[in-house]
Chain A
């Protein structure tokens, strides 16, 4: 390998690091002040690109000058900043005090809404942007051609870092942001209107995301998938750098940019795994990132109110559960479609129940639970399609695969708490997704695997429905037993106060790790059952949207109730199944529903049921 080649590789790593920093800096500033991890930051990035591919060509019609190009880029950033203000005023302002799980879900609702709005406004086709006038040529560095625009991008990151430093240290607004990052209540007690400060922060953060997106248009086309791919990288950067730290984001972006540029030479297919290894290594040594502060993120984490006091079902509950079970068993009497939906509900109910085992009972807010569901599905599917084994051993393998990966990832996850934990589960899920997506020879990539069929005896829809019912109900009853058992109570104790649990001799980490593994195994079983019910599997089974679906189910069902998630899964799936064929804009609908749920219905269906029954007759 020649030096000149390595140099060019390093330069292109620096260029992507620079772009990544511009985006991640906005995310980390917004988190620092508002303590909200803004999923919609990726949407702001995407909007920046879309707005830029719209207005920059229009401006270049007047004069193909660099000035107008960059004026267009800046205008796009400012327009996105204004959208950030809209989001702060309409949504964030209402959710500063709600538990972080709900905040994440609500901002993910915004992601869904923006995705549909972007399709409505700009259509489904990717839009290429114009190249930057004056920077279209290549520069020769040691005989290697390097695009001038990339060279320019290398300088944007440090320039933004310098400007942010000046803003943070030389202006009152910046000093207030830094003070609020540390103690926003005290800033309020000194007479600073936090609402104005937060609105200003959102403007800044969104504008930085928009700038990052707008600067990308000469390199990549604006597309409707930009949001989720960038948000994962931005999350990884902010987590490694320490959430809330701008210099941390800069260092982390450099590390990741260079790691990817050189990792591609050594392990061409698994650069994402390298990024994961870096993140895992950093978090094991410094659980709050390179420049993060423990008290800032973890000290004020608000957990959602979880399962408090699991009791045996009373008579009404028993009747309700019995009726629901009988209804599921009687579905084959209705029609084939009802059986299909019923099977799906059972599978999702187990997945949701296993997630609430973590969230409601353990206080472990996993944002990537679909990973274990999907890995279980792939474990079973690969066994059947690649080795020719029948369904039965594959259904044994599914929970083992789900549990094994949960044990591996969980080993790191349980070392963290609060928002860092949620980010890490999300990052692991995205890595699993990326590996499944990219490893085409084994997993079939985007197309997935087909002909994952049950054994002959279970081939009919009805028989498979009963098989699914038997296994999911058994698994749910088993997990419910665990919640009621001392192990479940120990997890609740660790959830309510890890320190106190630790002080009375509970090995918190090991208990959480076992709980995480158990939940992963249950999700894996659900995934395996799902694979055979469909006959095919694809990477969406590990995707963020499915993880969010699971979270929506437990939120809808009520995370403080033991059996609520089962009802939530049924209601969520029934509604989705009913509405999706009726509208082209189901994401818009789903996003608005999630936000509405967070704002007006935070205790879920079971909460509503409980308060209905408490009402004096």
Chain B
């Protein structure tokens, strides 16, 4: 299928002697939002890190925008147009909001309007007011906005979004969901790892469920909501 922006086959990865991923198969179509679901320890974050090159895959193939990227350096993968928003946010707390955005800035591919701080401040109005504030003085929710904005500054074609709703107040979670939907509206494909079914249902077209390092189930988000057996088997604690 040519509309696949990201295509992962047989991905294996782990930390030291510990194997975590045992041949993950997944893909992401252009402009779609897919939710990567599963319990703690199922391998969601590891999958995203291995795709991004932050963890070197032991086997398998990762194709992004038609190029093989498995084993490439993270900065090369980022330059091809894949953005990454880490679970721990990893904001540069010594830098101001504007400086954090500057670190993420990369030229846009030809023919696309680039993201600018001004455009992002429309997108995230909260951030506009604290443009020159140090990131260490921001709340968790504001930092989560900033980490997405920072990634968008790289003008990505697709974004890996790791557990965006974790540890945030419900009102912020709603804002995060809006942000994901607006990214989708801009034509950006998003692979979002998520434990929260409500959040996934609000943003995603499709869901994939990981357990013990392999994809055990995939299908439309509505099908997942309807199938209590699947939910009980793989999601509920």
Contacts and interface: CB of A to CB of B under 8 A. Distances in A.
Interface of A: 169, 172, 175-176, 178-179, 181-183, 185-194
Contacts of B150: 190
A178 B78 contact: no
Contact of B103 (A169, A190, A193): A190
Nearest to B160: A189
Contacts of B92: 178-179, 182-183, 186
Contact of A175 (B93, B102, B106, B151): B102
A182 B93 contact: yes
A169 B151 CA distance: 21
Given A172-B102, A175-B102, A175-B103, A190 B94 contact: no
Contact of B90 (A175, A183, A193): A183
Given A175-B95, A175-B99, A186-B86, A191 B154 contact: yes
A178 B95 contact: yes
A193 B76 CA distance: 8
Closest 5 CB pairs of A and B: A191-B78, A186-B90, A179-B92, A188-B74, A179-B103
Nearest to B79: A191
Nearest to A194: B75
Given A183-B90, A185-B54, A190 B78 contact: yes
Contacts of A188: 73-75, 78
B209 interface: no
A192 B75 CA distance: 6
Interface string B123-166: 00000000000000000000000000011001000000000000
B202 to A, nearest CB: 26
Contacts of A181: 94
B197 to A, nearest CB: 28
B104 A190 contact: yes
Interface string B73-92: 11100110000101000101
Contacts of B102: 172, 175
A190 B154 contact: yes
Contact of A187 (B79, B103, B105, B106): B103
B52 interface: yes
Contact of B78 (A169, A175, A182, A189): A189
A606 B57 CA distance: 32
A31 to B, nearest CB: 15
Contacts of A178: 92, 94-95, 99
Interface string B162-174: 0000000000000
Interface of A is mostly: helix
A188 B151 CA distance: 12
A185 B74 contact: yes
Given A189-B78, A190-B151, 15 more contacts: A175-B99, A178-B99, A179-B92, A179-B95, A179-B99, A183-B90, A185-B54, A186-B92, A188-B73, A188-B74, A188-B75, A189-B54, A190-B104, A190-B106, A192-B75
A190 B154 CA distance: 7
Nearest to A182: B92
Contacts of B95: 175, 178-179, 182
A185 B93 CA distance: 15
Nearest to B154: A191
> How many of chain B's residues touch chain A, expressed as a range?
20 to 34
A190 B160 CA distance: 12
15 contacts: A172-B105, A175-B99, A179-B95, A179-B99, A179-B100, A183-B90, A186-B86, A187-B103, A189-B52, A190-B75, A190-B150, A190-B151, A190-B154, A191-B75, A191-B154
A193 B75 CA distance: 6
Contacts of B100: 179
A290 to B, nearest CB: 16
A457 B217 CA distance: 85
Contacts of B154: 190-191
Nearest to A185: B54
A94 to B, nearest CB: 15
Interface in B24-59: 52, 54
A175 B103 CA distance: 7
Most chain B CB inside 10 Å of its own CB: which residue of A169, A179, A185, A193: A179
A178 to B, nearest CB: 6
Contacts of A182: 92-95
B78 to A, nearest CB: 3
A181 B92 CA distance: 9
Contact of A191 (B54, B90, B99, B106): B106
Query: A190, A191, A194 — which one has the most chain B CB atoms within 10 A of its CB?
Result: A191
A519 B75 CA distance: 45
Nearest to B150: A190
Contacts of B78: 188-191
B98 to A, nearest CB: 9
Contacts of A193: 75
A181 B93 CA distance: 11
B84 A189 contact: yes
Nearest to B147: A186
A189 B74 contact: yes
A189 B74 CA distance: 5
Which of B52, B92, B94 has the most C-beta atoms of chain A within 10 angstroms of its own C-beta? B92
A186 B84 CA distance: 9
A289 to B, nearest CB: 15
B103 A192 contact: yes
B127 to A, nearest CB: 17
A40 B4 CA distance: 50
Nearest to A245: B94
B83 to A, nearest CB: 8
Contacts of B75: 188-194
A526 to B, nearest CB: 37
Among B74, B94, B103, which residue has the most Cβ atoms of chain A within 10 A? B103
B176 to A, nearest CB: 19
Nearest to A183: B90
Nearest to A186: B90
Contacts of B99: 169, 175, 178-179
A169 B105 CA distance: 16
A515 to B, nearest CB: 27
A176 B94 CA distance: 12
A417 to B, nearest CB: 22
Contacts of B79: 191
B116 to A, nearest CB: 15
